[in-house]
A and B are shown apart, each in its own frame.
Chain A
Amino acid sequence: EPEVTQTPSHQVTQMGQEVILRCVPISNHLYFYWYRQILGQKVEFLVSFYNNEISEKSEIFDDQFSVERPDGSNFTLKIRSTKLEDSAMYFCASSDGRDTPYEQYFGPGTRLTVT
């Protein structure tokens, strides 16, 4: 069964550093998403991406965040200057966008720890 993959599984970084989280969505999917989940809190939408551009973003997704699809398979989330409060689990998801409802399938997540 096809699945979304994410790397790394755990990233530790110092405050102020840049991090790039990587995702490989399911191969025939057209819509891609990033979410975050702070420990003990709910899953929060960050951004959706379609046809090489952002289709929607939340208020969390400020100028320090960016997304990119550098090639036909990878989908990345960059955090330019990490803060302590960016420590969370980051999930990538994808959906095929062909049949409603647009069911999203999640990757295993990257645990980001900012020290």
Chain B
Amino acid sequence: RKEVEQDPGPFNVPEGATVAFNCTYSNSASQSFFWYRQDCRKEPKLLMSVYSSGNEDGRFTAQLNRASQYISLLIRDSKLSDSATYLCVVSSGGYQKVTFGIGTKLQVIP
């Protein structure tokens, strides 16, 4: 099983739609979880950290299910500018290595 698994997509959604991405991780000792976005040939940019209680930032909601080793990202009211690859990132803790998923590509269509 891959350390961090994501559906690579692409997900093609119309503007205004709600879209959800899922991610599973294999290491039950993982401690920190993040969503990054990456535009084509650019660096990963932190979108949000994911907390056990779930967290929301504007149109973006992240959830963590430790029992199922599962992380999700929900984007409401999709904008054209949301088109990017969304990277699920899992850390073993502290300043140690993080492991990236392959990313899920989102294309928002006018």
Contact = CB atoms under 8 A, between A and B. Distances in A.
Main secondary structure of the interface of B (DSSP, over half): strand
Contact of A107 (B43, B99, B102): B43
Interface residues of A, number: 25
Interface string B22-45: 000000000111100010011111
Contacts, number: 57
Contact of B101 (A31, A42, A95): A42
A55 B96 contact: yes
Given A50-B95, A58-B97, A97-B95, A103 B103 contact: no
18 contacts: A42-B87, A42-B102, A43-B100, A44-B100, A45-B100, A48-B97, A50-B95, A56-B97, A91-B44, A100-B32, A101-B32, A101-B49, A102-B91, A103-B46, A104-B98, A105-B46, A106-B43, A109-B43
